[in-house]
Structure 1
Amino acid sequence: MKFLLDNWFLVLAALVSGGLLLWPMLSRGVGGSAVSSAEAVRLINREKGVLIDVSEPAEYAAGHVMGARNIPFGSLEGAKNLPTNKALPLILVCATGARAGRAVGVLKKLGYENVQSLAGGLAAWREANLPVEKA
């Protein structure tokens, strides 16, 4: 105990560094995972991945990933236009990736097995010079 009291700054540094190492895993949401733009393209082309934009309709109309379905985050649980095959890879997109990360947990609770968010969202997709369209 004396060691801990005498070296409180070392203990604090160890706790902070441990927290920083765990932060990316904790900030993804419940069981969520994020894929890069390149990995999303691979999933779409090779594994018939489905892009779902969880942005609000006005955001979707302003610009979205080409070929993405719009199912707003608030209506995911009752959405009828989700794929019936729950094993298909789903890539969720929003403006920054934050809403999509939360939506991963919602869809996993609905039984979808292979759900991921696009890391960085639409901004990262545009940065990679991938196609964007307006409604």
Structure 2
Amino acid sequence: MDFFVFISEQWLLVSLLVVLLYVFALNERYKAGTPASVHEVTRLINSEGARVLDVRDRNEYSAGHIVDAIHIPHSEVAERIAELTPFKDKPLIVADKLGQHAGAVGRLLKQRGFQVRRLQGGMTEWASQNLPLVKA
């Protein structure tokens, strides 16, 4: 009950807190690369020569991945980042299963000067839209 009294009496402070939390969350989201829908990713690949970096583990990657995707598991990206240097001048789209690892990888790549985008919804969203997958 005291909580609601506090909110009603300090509505300005509570509103400011909510806005600051939202701005912080938005800022953190874009530090890891701008999210891109599956349709936007398709456009980037076709018109701008973007490359997809698939950071899922080997089994998931073998079960189905985007054509010409570069496969580096998320736990190895920091050690193998030199392999991505040839793609620094084009957008690099980070794809994982659901989006849980793309943020950390995207943040690392952005710090190293890459143009990073994150596949929104991950490979699960790509597959649910019935877009083509290559199985190895």
* Shorter-chain TM-score tier: 0.7 to 0.9
Which deviates the most, 45-54 or 84-93?
84-93
Runs of 4+ in 1 over 6 A off after TM superposition: none
Query: Whose helix proportion is higher, 1 or 2?
Result: 2
Decide which of 91, 94, 109 is 1:92's aligned counterpart.
Answer: 94
SS in 1 for 2:84: coil
**Contact 1:107–1:115 at 8 Å: present in 2 too?**
yes
Q: Quote the residue 1:124 is aligned against.
A: 125
- In structure 1, list runs of 5 or more residues that go unmatched: none
Q: Give the superposition deviation at 1:22.
A: 3.4
Q: Quote the residue 1:30 is aligned against.
A: 31
In structure 1, give the amino acid aligned to 2:108: V
Q: Quote the residue 1:14 is aligned against.
A: 15
Q: Quote the residue 2:77 is aligned against.
A: 76
Root mean square deviation of aligned Cα: 2.7
Which deviates the most, 4-13 or 95-104?
4-13
TM-score of the pair, normalised by structure 2 = 0.79
**Contact 1:30–1:102 at 8 Å: present in 2 too?**
no
**Contact 2:55–2:71 at 8 Å: present in 1 too?**
yes
CA distance in 2, matches of 1:65, 1:6: 49
Of all paired residues, the percent bearing the same amino acid is 33
Q: Give the superposition deviation at 1:77.
A: 2.1
- In structure 2, list runs of 5 or more residues that go unmatched: none
SS in 2 for 1:92: strand
In structure 2, give the amino acid aligned to 1:102: A
In structure 1, give the amino acid aligned to 2:118: S
Which deviates the most, 7-16 or 87-96?
7-16
**Contact 1:93–1:117 at 8 Å: present in 2 too?**
yes
TM-score of the pair, normalised by structure 1 = 0.80
Please give the per-residue CA displacement for 1:45-76, whole angstroms capped at 9, x wherever unaligned: 00000011011112211222232111111211
CA distance in 2, matches of 1:19, 1:6: 16
CA distance in 1, matches of 2:7, 2:76: 55
CA distance in 2, matches of 1:93, 1:31: 12
CA distance in 2, matches of 1:126, 1:25: 27
CA distance in 1, matches of 2:59, 2:132: 19
